[in-house]
């Protein structure tokens, strides 16, 4: 009999880990259509509808989030507009309800007609879901880069795609004060270095190496960037590396929101002095999302703690979306102290770095499942289309992996475009048709539409055609294969070549830039 265990919340070496067993995906026989529809249960009707909801969740949220929080989710019933799922432990139920209830409801509405509400309940021994769990073994594996004591490890483990257990959530803990969750994947080894983040990475590695020495490298270290460019990754990496080097080091990682919450709780319990005492023995304090440090008393307490740690030679690392002089809530003294150390910005990822990030995330997926593969043309397409953040890139790889797991067919450019469409649609607000582009290009360059769509390769035709493809990519939501079809049934690689050709010419040709702006102006009217 398979026993479903409660999540382990052990604390070892200053880190607390929480792991939840994942349940293997299973094929479920379809129940005849004659089954009653007023009450759909896991044992009385087609449970594949519940499995489809799980598949939609995996595609919507990504493989990592799904395996962390939804592997143990089981469909129970659908009655009166209420879809009910169950999980084996209270921790999972609370987390799903507070963080993913809207996503779960959206997926249920797509599969269950009339679904109005979703409820996640604690699974009881003997019910349908438990009986199904009893019939299947559960494979549990540690994450490839996390050792048993919660610190990073170089020893990886090979796991099949359907036997991936959720990664234990690490938490720093000092004097009974529990920090914010640490992602075991966010290490220096998994951070991809490029021209836009090289200084921040160098500063973070030096801090991790010297934080406990008499002469710390940079104190404080202040990293700022837009969302999704890697500042949180570097803070987590510092915490993991310091604990790897010195397991007994007192390291505390906190988001500004958690700092504020803990301080408010201390005020409510009339014990603010005890709150302050918990920071006295800290060796390294890492604060994330500084811009969310709200509340006058919270800000004052934060100032006192930071000043006390810096005066005592303790290492402080801060991450924010803005530079210190642009964080309005900081007083002048705190702003000056944060600027005393190294202030470094992580810039936007260029094309080369985006490609390196995609290759790294693909390699991580292939380490667990070598049969998963993406062609260079797919990676190039993703690097060209997704330009906002590293999270977009990681999410795209995760979505393609989930799609591949579900379909078990090679990922083509068309499939890739479909999977990432919602990630890029917000970047293309202009409603311009390719037909409009063909018309303006034809008039501007004095070539016929027939020539643009033909197989002619004379420069007088090829150059206008390439400009048109570039504008189609910039100004419409059409995929590269779709643009190719509209420009004379050309392959998407031809479109990609045209786009890169124009981008390359733009660097040293100001007249071309002016010409493109004029064409855009004509198209917008």
Q: Which CATH superfamily is domain 20-135 in?
A: DnaA, N-terminal domain (3.30.300.180)
pLDDT tens-digit profile of 314-340? 899 999 988 888 887 778 888 888 988
Q: Which residue has the higher pLDDT, 29 or 94?
A: 94
pLDDT at 188: 95
How far is it, in rounded angstroms, from Cα 491 to Cα 92? 47
**297 has a pLDDT exceeding 90:** no
**157 has a pLDDT exceeding 80:** no
CATH topology for the 434-524 domain: Chromosomal Replication Initiator Protein Dnaa; Chain: A; (1.10.1750)
Q: Which of 160-169, 246-255, 461-470, 507-516 has the lowest mean pLDDT?
A: 160-169
pLDDT at 222: 95
CATH number belonging to domain 169-346: 3.40.50.300
**97 has a pLDDT exceeding 70:** yes
**36 has a pLDDT exceeding 70:** no
The pLDDT-based confidence of 26 (bands split at 50, 70, 90) is very low
Q: How far is the first Cα of the chain from the last one, in angstroms, to the nearest whole number?
A: 70
Which CATH number applies to 356-427: 1.25.40, 1.10.8, 1.10.520, 1.10.3210?
1.10.8
Q: Edge-to-edge strands of the sheet including 342-346?
A: 251-255, 284-288, 315-320, 221-225, 342-346
pLDDT tens-digit profile of 283-296? 999 999 888 887 77
For the chain, percent of residues with pLDDT exceeding 70: 79
Q: Assign residue 186 a region: left if phi > 0, alpha if psi is -120 to 50, beta otherwise? A: beta
pLDDT at 257: 83
pLDDT at 47: 63
The pLDDT-based confidence of 28 (bands split at 50, 70, 90) is very low
Answer yes or no: same fold for 20-135 and 356-427: no
pLDDT at 62: 80
pLDDT at 449: 87
**356 has a pLDDT exceeding 90:** yes
* Three-state helix/strand/coil letters over 299-321: HHHHHHHHHHHHHCCCEEEEEEC
The pLDDT-based confidence of 168 (bands split at 50, 70, 90) is very low
Q: Do residues 91 and 68 lie in contact, with contact meaning Cβ atoms separated by under 8 Å?
A: no
pLDDT tens-digit profile of 364-397? 999 888 889 999 999 998 988 888 788 889 988 9
Q: Which residue has the higher pLDDT, 71 or 165?
A: 71
The pLDDT-based confidence of 60 (bands split at 50, 70, 90) is confident
Domain boundaries, the chain: 20-135, 169-346, 356-427, 434-524
DSSP summary character for residue 271 = -
């Amino acid at each position: 009999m398979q026993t479903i265990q409660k999540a382990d919340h052990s604390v070892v070496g200053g880190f607390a880990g929480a792991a939840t067993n994942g349940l293997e995906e299973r094929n479920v026989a379809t129940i005849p259509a004659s089954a009653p529809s007023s009450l759909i249960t896991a044992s009385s009707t087609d449970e594949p509808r519940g499995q489809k909801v799980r598949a939609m969740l995996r595609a919507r949220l990504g493989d990592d989030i799904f395996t962390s929080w939804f592997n143990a989710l089981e469909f129970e019933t659908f009655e009166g507009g209420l879809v009910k799922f169950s999980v084996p432990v209270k921790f999972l139920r609370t987390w799903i309800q507070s963080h993913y209830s809207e996503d779960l409801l959206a997926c249920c509405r797509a599969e269950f007609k009339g679904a109005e509400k979703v409820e996640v309940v604690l699974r009881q021994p003997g019910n349908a879901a438990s009986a199904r769990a009893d019939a299947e073994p559960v494979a549990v594996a540690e994450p490839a880069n996390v050792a048993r004591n919660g610190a990073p490890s170089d020893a990886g483990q090979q796991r099949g795609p359907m036997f991936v257990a959720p990664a234990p959530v690490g938490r720093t803990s000092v004097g009974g004060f529990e920090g914010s969750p640490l992602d075991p994947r966010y290490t220096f080894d998994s951070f991809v270095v490029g021209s836009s983040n090289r200084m921040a990475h160098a500063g973070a590695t030096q801090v991790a190496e010297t934080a406990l020495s008499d002469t710390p490298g940079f104190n404080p270290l202040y990293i700022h960037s837009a969302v999704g460019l890697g500042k949180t990754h570097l803070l987590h990496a510092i915490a993991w590396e310091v604990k790897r080097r010195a397991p007994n080091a007192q390291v505390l990682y906190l988001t500004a929101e958690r700092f504020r919450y803990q301080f408010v709780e201390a005020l409510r319990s009339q014990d603010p002095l005890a709150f302050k005492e918990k920071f006295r023995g800290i060796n390294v304090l890492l604060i994330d999302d500084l811009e969310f440090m709200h509340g006058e008393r919270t800000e004052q307490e934060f100032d006192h703690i930071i000043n006390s740690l810096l005066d005592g030679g303790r290492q402080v690392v801060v991450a924010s979306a803005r530079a210190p002089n642009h964080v309005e809530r900081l007083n002048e003294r705190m702003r000056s102290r944060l600027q005393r150390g190294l202030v470094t910005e992580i810039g936007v990822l260029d094309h080369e770095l985006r490609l390196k990030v995609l290759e790294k995330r693909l390699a991580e997926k292939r380490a667990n499942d070598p049969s998963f593969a993406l062609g260079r043309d797919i990676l190039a397409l993703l690097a060209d289309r997704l330009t906002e953040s590293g999270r977009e890139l990681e999410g795209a790889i995760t979505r393609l992996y989930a799609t591949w797991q579900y379909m078990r067919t090679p990922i083509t450019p068309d499939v890739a475009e479909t999977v990432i469409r919602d990630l890029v649609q917000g970047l293309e607000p202009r409603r311009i048709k390719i037909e409009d582009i063909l018309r303006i290009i034809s008039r501007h360059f004095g070539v016929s539409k027939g020539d643009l769509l033909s197989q002619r390769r004379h420069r007088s035709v090829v150059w206008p055609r390439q400009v048109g493809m570039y504008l189609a990519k910039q100004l419409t939501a059409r995929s590269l294969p779709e643009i190719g079809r509209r420009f004379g049934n050309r392959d998407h690689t031809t479109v990609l070549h045209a786009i890169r050709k124009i981008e390359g010419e733009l660097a040293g040709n100001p007249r071309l830039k002016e010409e493109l702006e004029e064409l855009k102006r004509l198209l917008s009217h």
